[in-house]
Structure 1
Amino acid sequence: MTVPFLQSIIVLLAGIVLIVVLTTKYKIHAFFALIAACLFVGLGLELSLADILTTTKTGFGNIIGALGFIIVFGTTLGILLEHTGATVVLANAILKLTGQQRAAGAMNITGYVVGLPIFCDSGYIVLSSLNNNIAVRTGTAMVLMAASLASGLYAVHCLIPPHPGAAAATATLSADFGLVVLYGMLVAIPTACCGFLWAKYATRNMLAMRPSKQHHVETEQAKRQQLPRIGIAVLPIVIPILLIGIRSFITIDESSLFLLKSLYAIGAPEVALGIGILFAVLGKRNWKRKDFNTLLRQAVEKAGDILLIIGAGGAFGALIAQVNMAEYLSGNNIVSSLGLVFPFMVASLLKTAQGSSSVAIITTATMILPMLGSLGLDHTMGKVCAVLAMGAGSMMVSHANDSYFWVISRFSGVGMSVMLRVYTVATLVMGLVAIGLIYLLYLVF
């Protein structure tokens, strides 16, 4: 890349502004806004049209390949849970335990627990219908409920193995796995809480949701229909989470037992969600073929819109990843004086630029490995804190080039401008809180 680094940063920021303006002021569909931003950024980086098209298609395809089945199956699961009344049963159970005033906080804690074994994307998709139902039931602003759940999932995703970024960085730096998990869990608790608290503060003047006419109709239908028992209602959510969680702790090879291989296979998020769909069907006894086919068609149509936007976000992220920030920073002579701040800073820049937390952590780990001695981190606690610092950096800042950003937006129905004011700023707060806590840990130990 021969484009000056400053020019690359200016083009990147202008591309993000273009997306915001097109989607908020001119109400252009997010897919077309993201594609327009791809073209703008590509030309600003002095890429040829052929290279822009190739990179855009590759980024689009990679995201669709990674999340396509998960989103379709997750959307189907959510619609079935709504139709069978399972979300009503689960919402009643949660609100009975927490009360309406603490519903958002309860979903933040739920996100933390659920996020320990599974990806934040999968966790949010699985829990989205329940989250939406509670938001309507309690009259809580949807963006608060969305950001609360998302923050809980996101904190553990970025900080704790076996999530891919943290796990890869732990292996790359030869850090103590157990200590990374232990301290990561400790740091993730206040980090997730701060994400929730910021969302609560940012939405303090937003109007609470009012149940729509459609919701009143659905509520009356729910009263008339025979709702599933709590055990049946919870299975479609718990079973996929357990299967995905078990898989994350299994390593297999050719000599592994058949049971382990089977658990590993059905623990794939796509398979686990498919099993969840089968359990969701049990929530209603008398199915009509026409009703069932209609629900499946609605799920596919809803998932199609989501996939287009997420795919375009992946294309945008792949294009601006052409700016090699890691190479620029590693050539700077002042980095050795930054210590723990350096891996945090690099990971945050990479995350902001290309959108993937996992890629940001993995890339940063590879880059700083030979620099551990000069950074003063070439010891047990230094390596552990370096991994966690990269995780903190990979939280910030989640915006239009992050697939998780669009998963939250589309599954919660929250517009981009509100997402940027609430959720994006929440990820900034979370990252800063996390690095502050990690630095304190480093000083103490």
Structure 2
Amino acid sequence: MTTSFVQVMLFLALGIGIIILLTAVFRIHAFFALLIACFVVGLGVQMPVATIINVTKQGFGHIMQSLGFIIVLGTTLGVTLEHTGSTRVMANWILKRIGEKKAPLAMSITGFIVGLPIFCDSGYIVLNGLNKSLSRRTGISMIIMSTSLATGLYSVHCLIPPHPGAAAAAGTIGVDYGRLILIGIVVAIPAMLVGYAWARYAGKKFPTDGPAEAAVEMPSKTAPSVISSFLPVIVPIILIGIKSFLTIEAGETIPAWMQLFLITGDPVIALTIGVVLALVAIRSWKKGDIGKLLQEAAEKAGGILVIIGAGGAFGAILAATQVGGHVSKAFNLQALGIFFPFMLTAVLKTAQGSSTVAIITASSIILPLLPSLGLQSETGKLLAVLSMGAGSMTISHANDAYFWVISKFSGLEMKPMLQVYTVATLLMGLVTLLVVFLLSLIYV
């Protein structure tokens, strides 16, 4: 199979265009859009049909092997925290410590913490009632409150596993999950803060309904304690973080305590521990409740897994076309470095709306280009994933489902959403890119 640079680039662009067209315009499920793109690109570069099928199967299977359990367990943890009321307990605890006068900051921090295990759209829906109540009680504009909460959730959703985009990119590029979680949390903090700051600044011009008698919703008597609510989120992060700091040389005798942390620090085991902690937070489960909850989690994870698997298949097809070699010969990518992953992902995100699809697609393209970009080291790969995470923030607008979740649940019109929330996502992406660039100056 001998193909020219022009032929490879033409069908790569056509494949990406098909993904954008089918998902954004025709609302076709991303799994089928990615699968169709596999065949378009493969046939376009004269790859035999049998080879296309085998390569897509291998790519699908590889990404499932590395990510399947993590996505299912991460989804289960999020669903369990929602069901038990732990998210509201955490929100009320943070609000009590920060104060109602700083309610937007409280909701931003709440979104950041709750968003670690819970998808941003689910987290927003769960916390929306508390958010509305605070807006009425404090007299702070709903657009300020909504953007503060939404950007807090969004900052970690785009950067940190077990969220599907970041997890898939880490699996494709070959980045340690523990390092990505720890560094990703640090990088996500400035993104959260700039989202909050812009919400406070730009939201001032939009009116509020004024203070009302409504009180802040408090957790019910059956809700878990504060400690029980936070532990399922904090313990897995600590365990994964400890493992990432433990370095084992070949042939070295491993002490028992280190073996324990190496086992419990595996993301699969750490997330399982988190799920168990979330389940035991409520002692009075009714018969069948746990079964229904786990069924819901498995079904929700299934939809995510098929998208990620198709993304892995698309990446395998791109690798088979040797797109990296073609591009590296045609362009001096070394000069673009950490900026290229951001730009590619930002274009995909802005065009088709899904952060997950954008970063999965981009990671497949970036993988063979890492040497040309000067990002082939372990740290370089980590920074590339974070750069793509920044791009997947940029920008959220009317073709993004999360945009409409915020708008409809908060009762916000298009104008304030675009002027406050959408601009906030642009600033978040740019600030995150700046932080990643500064890290690249230090560590690469």
Q: Shorter-chain TM-score category? A: 0.5 to 0.7
Matched, 1:27 2:27: yes
- Structure 2 match to 1:233: 229
CA apart distance, 1:265 = 0.7
Offset from partner CA, 1:342-391 (integer Å, 9 cap, x none): 433665588779848888887556456799xxxxxxxxxxx999789756
Offset from partner CA, 1:212-257 (integer Å, 9 cap, x none): xxxxxxx89x64x522110111111111111111111112365110
- Structure 2 match to 1:277: 275
- Structure 2 match to 1:149: 153
Q: Secondary structure at the match of 1:321?
A: helix
Matched, 1:102 2:105: yes
CA apart distance, 1:28 = 2.7
Matched, 1:343 2:346: no
CA apart distance, 1:301 = 1.8
Q: In the aligned structure 2, how far is the partner of 1:322 from the partner of 1:165?
A: 14
CA contact (8 A) 1:321 1:354 kept: no
Describe the shift of the 1:89–1:262 C-alpha distance in structure 2 as closer, same or farther (beyond 3 A): same
CA contact (8 A) 1:195 1:426 kept: yes
CA apart distance, 1:10 = 3.1
Q: In the aligned structure 2, how far is the partner of 1:393 from the partner of 1:74?
A: 23
CA apart distance, 1:83 = 2.2
- Structure 2 match to 1:266: 264
Offset from partner CA, 1:109-151 (integer Å, 9 cap, x none): 659xx9xxxxxxxx45588755542345325788985654343
CA apart distance, 1:272 = 1.0
Of 341-350 and 235-244, deviating more is 341-350
- Structure 1 match to 2:42: 42
Describe the shift of the 1:196–1:108 C-alpha distance in structure 2 as closer, same or farther (beyond 3 A): farther
CA apart distance, 1:60 = 1.6
Number of aligned residue pairs: give it. Answer: 376
The residue type paired with residue 106 of structure 1 is I
Matched, 1:243 2:246: no
CA contact (8 A) 1:107 1:131 kept: no
CA apart distance, 1:52 = 1.6
Q: In the aligned structure 1, how far is the partner of 2:302 from the partner of 2:122?
A: 17
Matched, 1:429 2:430: yes
CA contact (8 A) 2:3 2:45 kept: yes
Offset from partner CA, 1:173-214 (integer Å, 9 cap, x none): xxxx9xxx99x99877656656777999999999x9xxxxxx
Offset from partner CA, 1:62-104 (integer Å, 9 cap, x none): 2222221122222222222222221221122234437442356
CA apart distance, 1:295 = 1.6
Describe the shift of the 1:237–1:384 C-alpha distance in structure 2 as closer, same or farther (beyond 3 A): closer
The residue type paired with residue 228 of structure 2 is I
Supply the RMSD in Å over aligned alpha carbons: 5.1
Q: In the aligned structure 2, how far is the partner of 1:130 from the partner of 1:311?
A: 25
Describe the shift of the 1:127–1:93 C-alpha distance in structure 2 as closer, same or farther (beyond 3 A): farther
Q: Secondary structure at the match of 1:331?
A: helix
CA apart distance, 1:267 = 1.0
Q: In the aligned structure 1, how far is the partner of 2:34 from the partner of 2:272?
A: 30
Offset from partner CA, 1:13-49 (integer Å, 9 cap, x none): 3323323332343333332222222222222232221
Describe the shift of the 1:283–1:368 C-alpha distance in structure 2 as closer, same or farther (beyond 3 A): closer
CA apart distance, 1:429 = 3.4
Describe the shift of the 1:148–1:18 C-alpha distance in structure 2 as closer, same or farther (beyond 3 A): farther
Q: In the aligned structure 2, how far is the partner of 1:354 from the partner of 1:130?
A: 21
Q: Secondary structure at the match of 1:251?
A: coil
- Structure 2 match to 1:83: 83
The residue type paired with residue 155 of structure 2 is S
Matched, 1:137 2:130: yes
TM-score normalised to the size of structure 2?
0.65
Please list, as runs of the form range in 1=range in 2, the aligned pairs for 1:289-308 lying within 5 A after superposition.
289-308=287-306
CA contact (8 A) 1:55 1:318 kept: yes
Q: In the aligned structure 1, how far is the partner of 2:38 from the partner of 2:284?
A: 49
CA contact (8 A) 1:108 1:192 kept: no
CA contact (8 A) 1:105 1:148 kept: yes
Matched, 1:65 2:70: no
Q: In the aligned structure 2, how far is the partner of 1:269 from the partner of 1:146?
A: 26
Q: In the aligned structure 1, how far is the partner of 2:303 from the partner of 2:24?
A: 18
Describe the shift of the 1:31–1:396 C-alpha distance in structure 2 as closer, same or farther (beyond 3 A): same
- Structure 2 match to 1:216: none
Matched, 1:53 2:34: no
The residue type paired with residue 238 of structure 2 is L
CA contact (8 A) 1:199 1:426 kept: no
CA contact (8 A) 1:240 1:267 kept: yes
The residue type paired with residue 134 of structure 1 is L
CA contact (8 A) 1:350 1:360 kept: no
CA contact (8 A) 1:152 1:193 kept: no
Q: In the aligned structure 2, how far is the partner of 1:398 from the partner of 1:94?
A: 28
CA contact (8 A) 1:18 1:37 kept: yes
Describe the shift of the 1:93–1:413 C-alpha distance in structure 2 as closer, same or farther (beyond 3 A): same
CA apart distance, 1:263 = 0.8
Q: In the aligned structure 1, how far is the partner of 2:319 from the partner of 2:205?
A: 37
CA contact (8 A) 2:173 2:385 kept: yes
TM-score normalised to the size of structure 1?
0.64
The residue type paired with residue 30 of structure 2 is A
Q: Secondary structure at the match of 2:253?
A: coil
